[in-house]
């Protein structure tokens, strides 16, 4: 078994645990590369069929290419899809910096869809290497009724025995890709031939490394126009992945505050 086999087997194990123990279960599908890999792994885990709905936290402000890709994949993969509209920015915590407030819309959208559908488990494609605060995450992370994350008092998680019991009124965030790195994700996309939104590939010297909303995500300088070229670029680079995400740079702790309030 090589490294990708290892990661794949572990993620499938987590997906199957979540499906067995958390009903109803939903998966957040940002339509970005990570959540596409997660969907692909779900199809492997459940032999071609995704047994839970996929949810887009829809700001109404995603790139047109993202919406087009979504419509195609839903049809081709036979997904059960939920569109979760995000409330307007006025409803977010006014003490957050402006860009973070835009991101906080997703937190609100997520809370509402969880409440509306009564989800006990929500699956996400976040990775530990993305951002320091995410490095503290567990594979299964309990959230209280308010959706908050108490990173200081997280229950122990070891020997693949996960905390699949939501606190009263709360839910469990499930993170099957936690151990993957950005490079692993691209190498796996290459190996398995997983489709991704074309925005990741360079056009006129620029490409997106991470996809968020139109007005708070910026492309990086890059000539990488294929999955192979992206891998080569990453192998040579030391820039953090979320460098193109404005909300991470507003203050030392903006991202941590977002997450404590329930952001992904």
State the minimum distance, in angstroms, from the CB of residue 260 to other proteins.
10
HEC per residue, the chain: CCHHHHHHHHHHHHHHHHHHHCCCEEEECCCCHHHHHHHHHHHHHCCCCCCCCEEEEECCCCCHHHHHHHHHHHHHHCCCEEEEECCCHHHCCCCCCHHHHHHHHHHHHHHHHHHHHCCCEEECCCCCCCCHHHHHCCCEEEECCCCCCCHHHCCCCECCECCCCCCCCCEEEECCCCCCCHHHHHHHHHHHCCCCCHHHCCECCEECCCCCCHHHECCEECCCCCHHHHHHHHHHCCCCHHHHEHHHHCCCCHHHHHHHCCCC
State the minimum distance, in angstroms, from the CB of residue 10 to other proteins.
8
Q: How far apart are the first and last CA of the chain?
A: 31
Nearer to other proteins, 90 or 159 (CB): 159
Nearer to other proteins, 138 or 171 (CB): 138
State the minimum distance, in angstroms, from the CB of residue 197 to other proteins.
21
State the minimum distance, in angstroms, from the CB of residue 87 to other proteins.
27
Nearer to other proteins, 46 or 67 (CB): 46
Asked if 34 and 188 count as a contact pair (C-beta separation under 8 A), the reply is no
Residues engaged in binding other proteins (CB under 8 A): 1-6, 8-10, 12-13, 16-17, 19-20, 43-49, 128-129, 132-133, 135-136, 138, 151-152, 154-159, 161, 163, 165, 167, 181, 238-240, 252-253, 256
Nearer to other proteins, 83 or 253 (CB): 253
State the minimum distance, in angstroms, from the CB of residue 51 to other proteins.
9
State the minimum distance, in angstroms, from the CB of residue 42 to other proteins.
10
Nearer to other proteins, 95 or 156 (CB): 156
Nearer to other proteins, 34 or 62 (CB): 34
């Amino acid at each position: 078994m090589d490294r990708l086999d290892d990661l794949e087997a572990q993620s499938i194990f987590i997906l199957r645990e979540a499906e067995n123990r958390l009903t109803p279960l939903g998966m957040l599908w940002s339509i970005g590369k990570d959540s596409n890999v997660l969907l692909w792994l779900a199809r492997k885990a459940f032999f071609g069929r995704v047994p839970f709905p996929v949810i887009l936290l829809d700001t109404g402000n995603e790139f047109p290419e993202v919406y087009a890709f979504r419509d195609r994949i839903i049809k081709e993969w036979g997904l059960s899809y939920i569109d979760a509209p995000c409330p307007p920015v006025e409803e977010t915590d006014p003490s957050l910096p402006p860009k973070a407030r835009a991101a906080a819309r997703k937190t609100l959208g997520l809370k509402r869809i969880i409440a509306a559908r009564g989800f006990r488990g929500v699956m996400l494609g976040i990775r530990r290497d993305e951002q320091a605060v995410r490095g503290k995450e567990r594979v299964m992370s309990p959230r209280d009724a308010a959706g908050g994350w108490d990173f200081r008092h997280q229950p122990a998680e070891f020997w693949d025995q996960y905390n699949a019991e939501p606190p009263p009124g709360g839910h469990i965030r499930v993170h099957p890709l936690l151990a993957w790195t950005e490079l692993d994700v691209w190498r796996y996309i290459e190996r398995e031939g997983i489709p991704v939104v074309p925005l990741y590939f360079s056009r006129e010297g620029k490409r997106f490394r991470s996809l968020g909303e139109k007005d708070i995500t910026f492309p990086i300088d890059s000539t990488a126009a294929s999955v192979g070229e992206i891998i080569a670029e990453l192998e040579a680079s030391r820039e953090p992945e979320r460098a193109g995400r404005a909300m991470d740079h507003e203050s030392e702790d903006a991202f941590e505050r977002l997450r404590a309030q329930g952001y992904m």
